[in-house]
Structure 1
Amino acid sequence: MFDSSSLVLFTSASLLLALAPGPDNIFVLTQSAIKGRLVGLVVTLGLCTGLIVHTSAVALGVAAVFQSSTMAFNLLKFAGAAYLLYLAWGAFRAGAESLNEPVGRERDLFRYYLRGILMNVTNPKVSIFFLAFLPQFTHPERGSLSVQMFVLGGLFILATLVVFGGISLLAGVLGQRLRRSERVQKWLNRAAGTIFAGLALKLATASR
């Protein structure tokens, strides 16, 4: 279906794109630093689940709706911006936490998993990006375009898991040291709130 050179090029591009500063990897960075690497890894899984949704949207033609309909694009982006503002509000209100508090409870981890999904799915620019990016590596003569899209989407998700997983581990180690100080914990929360608010503003003012 794909030749080796196309797969190497696509995978390399995916890794570089995952490394480029953006809302998702910044989100992973802040959550890992504040809550620990386990939460960061769970958020990463949520974001990658969101990428499955975007891949499906492109493969099935749904993403074209966001590219052609201003109303659909605006509705989704404002929903995403509102969610980011909600996260910012929560971060500004958060106080210091004890390092002895459990952070691996199933209910809490599932909440962060859902947070990752919502963060990714409510950004219509991801679908539009996939709509522009994935078809460049497909070839009608090599079989079903939808199947090719899903394969490429899977490779992109794998690259994202590797990069974001690395970010989670590094930020989690650094954050564990920083969180030993209540003052630093509060500063990290305020910094995260500011970042979330900035991302909300960026998303709310985004255009297709």
Structure 2
Amino acid sequence: MSIAFLLTTLVVCVTPGTGVVYTLAAGLSRGRRAGVVAAVGCTLAIVPHVLATVTGVAALLHASATAFQVLKYAGVVYLLHMAWAMVRDKGAIGGGRDAAPASARQVMVRAVLINLLNPKVTIFFLAFLPQFVDPARPHAVPRMLTLGGVFMLVTFVVFVAYGVLAASVRRHVTSRPRVMAWLRRGFAGSFLVMGAKLAFTAR
């Protein structure tokens, strides 16, 4: 395992994306436990993408315009749904009375779907892993799985840090209605922008 792989993985994981935004929102709205649960969900969603890359399904997805478009627009719809939920539900950010009903299972499912319904993640692994593993060499599949596991571990650690950091400032912001209103709009805007970017993503 090269230093280049670890550094690239760290940069990719630290860079804010849909998973990071959702983990921050979960940590702010529900606390540390929800932030960790969101991190777990986002990390678990990587498994299908890695397996798709290793088994060749990712290459088929990249080659099939129909399959790519179906998955892409499913992801767009879900991101728009998340944006609308942030605007509509005042308990989504702020830990108000409406925040309690969201269970750990719901946080987990939302986190998984955010990463799972994003074909860009699959295409990323399709382009990323072969740079560090020659598919023609022996034991290429186990090595790819190992690198995928390391990527997941780094993702989990980074996302937990984001979630815990968000939870640590929760008390300081949830008591300020104006701040919470702007945070809701900010998270909603982030999901909206990411949904728009995904909609215009080509294979």
User: C-alpha displacement at 1:39, in angstroms?
Assistant: 1.4
User: C-alpha displacement at 1:40, in angstroms?
Assistant: 1.8
Aligned letter for 2:192?
A
Within the candidate set 121, 128, 132, 1:137 is matched to 132
Cα distance per residue 1:13-62 (max 9 Å; x no partner) = 21111112322222222332233232121111111111011001101111
> What does residue 161 of structure 1 align with?
156
**1:187 equivalent in alignment to 2:182:** yes
**1:116 equivalent in alignment to 2:85:** no
SS at match of 1:170: helix
The change in CA–CA distance for 1:144 and 1:204 in structure 2 (over 3 A counts) is same
> What does residue 201 of structure 1 align with?
196
> Do 1:37 and 1:172's aligned partners in 2 also have CA atoms closer than 8 Å?
yes
> What does residue 30 of structure 2 align with?
35
The change in CA–CA distance for 1:76 and 1:98 in structure 2 (over 3 A counts) is closer
**What 5-or-longer segments of structure 2 have no aligned partner?**
none
**1:80 equivalent in alignment to 2:75:** yes
Cα distance per residue 1:128-172 (max 9 Å; x no partner) = 110111011114576322211111100000111111111111122
> Do 1:23 and 1:199's aligned partners in 2 also have CA atoms closer than 8 Å?
yes
**What 5-or-longer segments of structure 1 have no aligned partner?**
1-5
Moved over 4 A (4+): 96-103
Aligned letter for 1:132?
A
The change in CA–CA distance for 1:10 and 1:110 in structure 2 (over 3 A counts) is same
Cα distance per residue 1:80-131 (max 9 Å; x no partner) = 010111111111111255568885x8x7111111111110011001111101
Aligned letter for 2:138?
G
Aligned letter for 1:200?
G
What is the percent sequence identity of the aligned residues?
A: 35
**1:67 equivalent in alignment to 2:40:** no
Aligned letter for 1:146?
V
C-alpha distance in structure 2 between counterparts of 1:151 and 1:98, whole Å: 39
C-alpha distance in structure 1 between counterparts of 2:69 and 2:170, whole Å: 35
SS at match of 2:16: coil
Give the alignment's TM-score, normalised by structure 1: 0.87
> Do 2:77 and 2:195's aligned partners in 1 also have CA atoms closer than 8 Å?
yes
**1:13 equivalent in alignment to 2:14:** no
C-alpha distance in structure 2 between counterparts of 1:191 and 1:80, whole Å: 20
Aligned letter for 2:43?
C
C-alpha distance in structure 2 between counterparts of 1:181 and 1:152, whole Å: 43
The change in CA–CA distance for 1:93 and 1:100 in structure 2 (over 3 A counts) is closer
